[in-house]
Chains A and B, each alone.
Chain A
Amino acid sequence: MAAPAVGIREVTKRFGDVVAVDNIDLDIADGEFFSLLGPSGCGKTTTLRMIAGLEYPTEGSITIHGEEMGLRPPNKRPVNTVFQSYALFPHMTVAGNIAFGLQMQKVPEEETSRRVGEAIDLVRLSGMENRRPGMLSGGQQQRVALARALVNRPEVLLLDEPLGALDLKLRQAMQLELKEIQREVGITFVYVTHDQEEALTMSDRIAVMNEGQLLQVATSEEIYERPNTRFVAEFIGETNLITGTVSEPGVVKLADGSLVRARTHSVAGSTVTLNLRPEKIDLHDAEEKIPEHFNKLSGTISRRLYFGDSLFYEVDFGHTVVDAREENRPGRPRFEEGAPIIAAFHPDAAEALTE
């Protein structure tokens, strides 16, 4: 098997007494759009900076296409970075910024200007060549930063929350554009973000980090549908976490004694947390309409919020309160606050987590 684009082996980074990255192992495949996702301070940016050579690991090994990076300085690594604040050189023009890396590599002038032109076309900044970064909008600066890195055709492109400073509309447009560009150039992208939605929509695979540790590395779908810990379940999207005990494999006993069928992975008697997404719960006024094998729990609506595309209910089961989301479609019943209902969900929708 070919060596991974980025290989991280037992890497730890300490700043004084603080452990920023705690003994992580990670392989990022060639051509992959890979996201490092986690709350601020989880070590994702430090991991990225170690790949770039802007920080050195305290211990461990980082390889790029099998080649050990060790203490190699950033200018000797086949990677480029798109910085969070863009870090465009304010005293150079757009073209000057983009040409910088090629000039430093002593690429012949003719080739430099041709490649700079191509990069400017790629990020659709034609006509802006001679402007200074200070005269550009946030979105344009972002594209310059992207072009400045891509023009060097790095083996791996590192992106540190590149869309964090943009407003929502622009961010969504840039997400699509980034993904498009990645497909076009075929370079491995390592993308750092704290925005779970961004990570889900863009990535081939996601690594969820917290407190310096890798919690789960999987595809977007797997991360959302099958989180392996409470932290991942709560961090990605909205969810309900219900405490219970495994009474037999595939059956969990809740606090009020009711039994629900769920996906369990632990032995009978162990305490678990059921992870149940709000959109996977169906609300009904009568039992007859519910398929046989579904779990059924009776409760009352304690709160209702109108979201336009959906309706959001808080359902009180006595021992716990659960959020449910119903799509706003004709034919679906609507419930008032205080109404008694039956909540139903498929056994596969509830995952029993042990951590």
Chain B
Amino acid sequence: MTFTAEEPVTAELEARAEKAESRRGLFLALPSYIYLLLLFALPLVIIGMYSFASRSRTGMPKLEAWNLDSITKLFTDDLIRSIFARSLIVAVLTTTFCLLAGYPFAYYIATRSEKARNLLLVFVMIPFWTNFLVRTYAWRVLLGEDGLITELGRFLKLWDSMLFTLPAVYIGLIYGFLPFMVLPLYAAIERLDWSLIEAARDLYASGWEAFRKVTLPLTKQGIIAGSILVFIPSLGAYVTPDILGGAKTTLIGNYVVNQFLTARNWPLGSSVSMAIMVVMLIATIWYFRSGAKTL
């Protein structure tokens, strides 16, 4: 049965019109669906399956022999456990440092005049104009044997070359991820209704109490969003620890790459990858539970 647009509307016709509308929506979203399915969901399933596979002599996963060997290894292998623990500590500390440095800075930007605000935001984003790899190599120069920062440390008699040590990895990670903390924090602080701070001061709160009781809780969304945006890439970081860190500072991302490319143990690499994803998933769920509507 067909219907034309110009006839009295009945419940049935209205329902059909609505259905047609939703079909159109699906059609528009189809390219993205296909892209995500082929290049995201499918590889994820494959990695998930590989975690249960066993390793052939050439290093390729054998799907016919399903087992829990690589999963068990995650919990029993001391090396993996220590690398995982180190990565978690690095991710947590990087996030903490970014938050402590990013909050005052975001607050500063958000409280400037509109013109100054936009200029400062451009400054925050300028680093993105240069490739991340190039910028990380620049740190290698700065932190290296004759680098500016090394020279400064020697002059102050405080530090020597930090290249290929854990501090170098921290410097690289905080440098790389700080903008991801500053931007959501800025968005949250900028939205703040300043009359609330005035109300708190009027109601006998000191500057610090007003910050703790009003500003901080009302910018919680920004804190959580920024923390997630820094925590997740820090946990999976590969480039920074690879370029700035040494053999003793292997992080979980480097370990995964090693399993796939050097050790040729795809099942183990896959299960470690899945473990990282689980941790990130828990962190994200915690974020949404905290009441955020958008990431």
Contacts and interface: CB of A to CB of B under 8 A. Distances in A.
Contacts of B204: 75, 101, 104-105, 152
B203 A104 contact: yes
B276 interface: no
Contacts of A52: 202
A205 interface: no
B239 interface: no
Interface stretch (B38-46, B78-86, B190-198): B190-198
B72 interface: no
Interface in B184-220: 193, 195-196, 198-207, 209, 213-214, 217-218
B205 A87 contact: no
Contacts of A4: none
A175 to B, nearest CB: 23
Interface stretch (A78-86, A188-196, A228-236): A78-86
Q: Is the interface of B mostly helix, strand, loop or mixed?
A: helix
Contacts of B196: 87, 89-90
Contacts of A100: 200, 203, 205, 213
Nearest to B203: A101
A85 B206 CA distance: 22
Interface string A96-115: 00001100110000000000
A44 interface: no
B218 A87 contact: no
A54 B210 CA distance: 14
A152 B203 CA distance: 8
B201 A87 contact: no
A346 to B, nearest CB: 49
A90 B195 CA distance: 12
A139 interface: no
Nearest to A99: B203
A87 B193 contact: yes
A74 B198 contact: yes
A83 B200 contact: no
A104 B201 CA distance: 10
23 contacts: A53-B202, A54-B201, A54-B202, A75-B202, A75-B203, A75-B206, A81-B202, A83-B199, A85-B193, A85-B195, A87-B196, A87-B198, A88-B199, A89-B199, A90-B196, A91-B217, A100-B205, A100-B213, A101-B203, A104-B200, A104-B204, A104-B209, A148-B203
Given A100-B203, A100-B205, 20 more contacts: A52-B202, A73-B201, A74-B201, A75-B201, A75-B203, A75-B204, A79-B202, A80-B202, A81-B198, A83-B199, A85-B193, A87-B198, A87-B199, A89-B199, A89-B214, A90-B218, A91-B218, A104-B205, A105-B204, A148-B203
Interface of A: 52-54, 73-75, 79-81, 83, 85, 87-91, 100-101, 104-105, 148-149, 152
